[in-house]
Amino acid sequence: MSDTKTLHPETLAIRAGREHSGFGEHSQSLFLTSSFTFDTAADAAALFLGEREGYTYSRFTNPTVSAFQQRLAALEGGERAIATASGMAAIQAVMMSQLKSGDHIVSSQSLFGSTLNLFAGTLSKFGIETTFVDPKDSGAWRAALRPETKLLFLETPSNPLTEVADIAAVAAIAHEHGAILVVDNCFCSPALQRPLELGADLVVHSATKYLDGHGRVLGGAVVGSDALVEPVYLHVRTAGPSLSPFNAWVLLSGLETLYLRMEKQCANALQVARWLESRPEVERVFYPGLESHPQHALAQRQQSAGGAVLSFVVRGGREAAWRVVDRVEVISRTANLGDVKSTITHPASTTHARVSAEARERAGIGEGLLRLAVGLEHPDDLQLDLERGLGL
Ligand SMILES: *Cc1c(COP(=O)(O)O)cnc(C)c1O
């Protein structure tokens, strides 16, 4: 596929990135092999020296993984992608390959919990410090810069409050300073948002979420220019947080329906969000697709739809929120998201339970807050389920 620039993303999600066995198979083969054989000793030497392209060992080269990488790179509009074993492995691979001891990160404070722990815990042990800022405040990003700041990091919309950060504005701040911007595009996927086009230098993914879309496998990826992805590739090659071919094969089929799923899941989320907003039992709804969202205009500019994750505050605190979680019969009680099955979670007692009550309060994660990741069920059924939860 040479003309990826002229094809629509819906087509690329199905057609980009193919590695054939030579038998003319129509679906992507699963190359479940740890290593590859060489024709001759000289052939082996050429492959290892990189003089000839080909497959050697699945820690860093496998045709099924390569097909997934090519497809995702096409969807994000990047030159190259490297797949990893999970989303966290992707973020870690970026940090290990782009930074060294003494470097400084400026990051959004509204991050996936394990990313916060990676920055504040693991990286700080190796002499890489992180300053956390309010992602909506351009002044705060700029004020946190130091001479040794090499990398800015954000996630948008954030979890669970769906705060939207201005990717183009933060990219400009990073570039003025000679730093790079890395965006975790997990919540939107390339179907809704393409951070590289907005100025980001690298995109990271938890493929575990919408790219798979069915809650089956873990996976991750880093996408960007050849120059920035090459060191990430070398890190994965050396350290081995590699994606398994089986998971890549599952993810390839997930990608085929990404655009269709996202379009419908976003429409379902908007319907449910509007309905929740109309209920007196609900104090507030956070969803970028609603006019009431404080950054609705920015979200409309930056994303092609509001996303499939929303959160809402029920009146009556933890007791009322837990009642909703306990009463739903269709929606799954689980902390995962990005699935065709809708899921509900009470962040204060699950994903954010280990954060102190004051820190939670500061982050706006109160006892009445619920996060709903809307799936592909009929939205009327989800609404009825929530009615049951709210005791209507
Ligand atoms: C889940 C998630 C991750 C981590 O991905 P894993 O595949 O679970 O390692 C990173 N960022 C965001 C926004 C996530 O939701």
Ranking 20-34, 325-339, 365-379 by mean pLDDT, the lowest is: 20-34
* CATH architecture of structural domain 7-256: 3-Layer(aba) Sandwich (3.40)
Q: Give residue 206 CA to ligand 1 midpoint distance, Å.
A: 5
Task: Give the per-residue pLDDT at 21.
Answer: 85
Check whether 3 has a pLDDT greater than 70. no
Give CA–CA dist 157/186, Å, rounded: 9
Check whether 262 has a pLDDT greater than 70. yes
Which residue, judged by its Cα, is nearest atom 5 of ligand 1?
Answer: 87
The pLDDT tens digits of the residues spanning 281-331 come to: 999 999 999 999 999 999 999 999 999 999 999 999 999 999 999 999 999
Q: Is the beta carbon of 186 within 6 A of some atom in ligand 1?
A: yes
Ranking 3-7, 43-47, 303-307, 318-322 by mean pLDDT, the lowest is: 3-7
- Residues 219-243 have a mean pLDDT of 98
- Residues 174-198 have a mean pLDDT of 98
- Residues 127-141 have a mean pLDDT of 96
Q: Give residue 113 CA to ligand 1 midpoint distance, Å.
A: 9
Task: Give the per-residue pLDDT at 299.
Answer: 97
Instruction: At 196, give phi and psi (nearest 5°).
Output: -65, -35
The pLDDT tens digits of the residues spanning 216-225 come to: 999 999 999 9
Which residue, judged by its Cα, is nearest atom 6 of ligand 1?
Answer: 87
Check whether 242 has a pLDDT greater than 70. yes
Task: Give the nearest ligand 1 atom to 336 CA.
Answer: 1
E strands, the chain, in order: 80-84, 104-108, 129-133, 149-155, 180-184, 202-206, 220-224, 282-286, 309-314, 332-333, 343-345, 369-373
CB 239 within 8 A of CB 232: no
Domain ranges of the chain: 7-256, 259-390
Q: Give residue 153 CA to ligand 1 midpoint distance, Å.
A: 14
Ligand 1 pocket: which of 209, 216, 339, 351 to mutate (most atoms <8 Å of CB)? 209
Q: Is the beta carbon of 220 within 6 A of some atom in ligand 1?
A: yes
Give CA–CA dist 153/106, Å, rounded: 6
- Residues 131-160 have a mean pLDDT of 96
CB 343 within 8 A of CB 337: yes
Q: How many CA atoms lie within 13 A of 305 on its CB side?
A: 23
Which residue, judged by its Cα, is nearest atom 1 of ligand 1?
Answer: 206
- When pLDDT is cut at 50, 70 and 90, the band that residue 229 belongs to is very high
Q: Is the beta carbon of 86 within 6 A of some atom in ligand 1?
A: yes
Q: Is the beta carbon of 206 within 6 A of some atom in ligand 1?
A: yes
DSSP-assigned letters across all residues of 299-336: HHHH-SS--SEEEEEETTHHHHHHHHHHH-SSSEE-S-
Task: Give the nearest ligand 1 atom to 111 CA.
Answer: 13
Give CA–CA dist 363/367, Å, rounded: 12
* CATH architecture of structural domain 259-390: Alpha-Beta Complex (3.90)
Check whether 4 has a pLDDT greater than 80. no
Q: Is the beta carbon of 339 within 6 A of some atom in ligand 1?
A: no
Q: Is the beta carbon of 155 within 6 A of some atom in ligand 1?
A: yes
Q: Do domains 7-256 and 259-390 have the same CATH topology?
A: no
Tokens of 355: 């954060």
Check whether 23 has a pLDDT greater than 80. yes
Task: Give the nearest ligand 1 atom to 89 CA.
Answer: 9
Q: Give residue 158 CA to ligand 1 midpoint distance, Å.
A: 12
pTM of the model as a whole: 0.95
E strands, 214-346, in order: 220-224, 282-286, 309-314, 332-333, 343-345
Q: Is the beta carbon of 92 within 6 A of some atom in ligand 1?
A: no
- Residues 246-253 have a mean pLDDT of 98
- Residues 353-369 have a mean pLDDT of 84
Q: Is the beta carbon of 183 within 6 A of some atom in ligand 1?
A: no
Q: Is the beta carbon of 58 within 6 A of some atom in ligand 1?
A: no
Task: Give the per-residue pLDDT at 29.
Answer: 93
Check whether 1 has a pLDDT greater than 60. no
Check whether 268 has a pLDDT greater than 80. yes
- When pLDDT is cut at 50, 70 and 90, the band that residue 353 belongs to is confident
Q: Is the beta carbon of 371 within 6 A of some atom in ligand 1?
A: no
Q: Give residue 161 CA to ligand 1 midpoint distance, Å.
A: 16
Which residue, judged by its Cα, is nearest atom 8 of ligand 1?
Answer: 87
Ligand 1 pocket: which of 154, 208, 212 to mutate (most atoms <8 Å of CB)? 208
Q: Cα torsion for 215, 220, 223, 226, to the nearest 10°? A: -140
Summary mean pLDDT of the chain: 95
